């Protein structure tokens, strides 16, 4: 039995920083869960409006890119099998784990009442591409701070109670993009779905062929190019 063989359909909430984070960080797992009948909803804290370089895209503006990336993420979520994504539209690149943002995350956890919550590991300073984006780390930090001790306790942010947001605690928190994994999911069967979803983020593509080659090279160490096997790793914390 795998760690994600639950007894009934799960309500899964994914909270990450940017459009394309769900697909890159854990798209194979999300596609696997969607095909197993679980409900998946994304909340993206920013719209990734700074994901371009003015020297190469002089006609682009942050406002225009925000709208483009909303649509790209909606397309990618559809490929994965997730519900239409939701956005807080905070400024890209400026996320901090503030008390106000923590309250917002608590509100969304109480609103959506997930069984499983997915975010990223705030302790991962370095990634395969170099320094991990500060928004990734800030997102993981504020989400974990919202989960415990606040989301399930009525004495934290009692003003949310007056708005009808009753305390709720996820059963499990899955942290992607981690260097301290305790859970591995085989996503060989959904790797092509993950890749197809990533390719929906056309505004972020410079060389599609190189990207495809790089993604296909990320096979499990005990597999071969002829018979590749793919994995996604998580730090999972269980509360029940």
The residue ranking higher by pLDDT, 26 or 55, is 26
31-50 tens-digit pLDDT: 999 999 999 999 999 999 88
> What Cα–Cα distance (Å) separates residue 240 from each residue in 88, 173, 234?
29, 11, 18
123-164 tens-digit pLDDT: 999 877 789 999 999 999 999 999 999 999 999 999 999 999
What percent of the chain is predicted at pLDDT more than 90?
86
Q: Would you state the pLDDT for residue 56?
A: 64
CB distance 114 to 13 below 8 Å: yes
Domains of the chain: 11-101+115-136+145-157+168-238 (3.40.50.10320)
Bridge pairing between strands 126-127 and 130-131:
antiparallel
Q: Would you state the pLDDT for residue 40?
A: 98
pTM of the shown model: 0.95
What percent of the chain is predicted at pLDDT more than 70?
98
Mean pLDDT lowest for which of 14-18, 60-64, 172-176?
Answer: 60-64
User: CA-CA distance, 77 to 70, in Å (whole number)?
Assistant: 11
113-122 tens-digit pLDDT: 999 999 999 9
Q: Residue 54's pLDDT band (boundaries 50, 70, 90)? A: low
């Amino acid at each position: 039995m795998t760690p994600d063989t639950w007894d009934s359909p799960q309500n899964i909430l994914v909270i990450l920083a940017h459009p394309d984070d769900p697909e890159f960080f854990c798209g194979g797992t999300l596609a696997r869960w969607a095909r197993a009948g679980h409900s998946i909803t994304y909340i993206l804290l920013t719209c990734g409006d700074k994901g371009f370089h003015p020297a190469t895209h002089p006609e682009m503006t942050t406002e225009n890119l925000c709208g483009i990336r909303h649509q790209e993420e909606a397309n990618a979520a559809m490929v994965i099998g997730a519900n239409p994504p939701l956005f807080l539209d905070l400024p890209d690149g400026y996320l901090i784990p503030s008390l106000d943002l923590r309250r917002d995350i608590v509100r969304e956890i109480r609103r959506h009442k997930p069984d499983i919550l997915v975010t990223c590991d705030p302790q991962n300073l370095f990634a395969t591409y170099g320094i991990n984006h500060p928004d990734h780390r800030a997102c993981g930090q504020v989400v974990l701070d919202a989960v415990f001790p606040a989301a399930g306790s009525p004495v934290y942010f009692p003003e949310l109670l007056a708005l009808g947001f009753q305390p709720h605690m996820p059963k499990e928190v899955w942290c992607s993009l981690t260097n301290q994994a305790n859970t591995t999911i085989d996503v060989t069967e959904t790797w092509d779905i993950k890749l197809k979803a990533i390719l929906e983020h056309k505004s972020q593509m410079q060389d599609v062929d190189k990207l495809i080659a790089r993604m296909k090279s990320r096979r499990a160490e005990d597999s071969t190019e002829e018979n590749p096997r793919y994995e996604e790793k998580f730090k999972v914390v269980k509360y029940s």
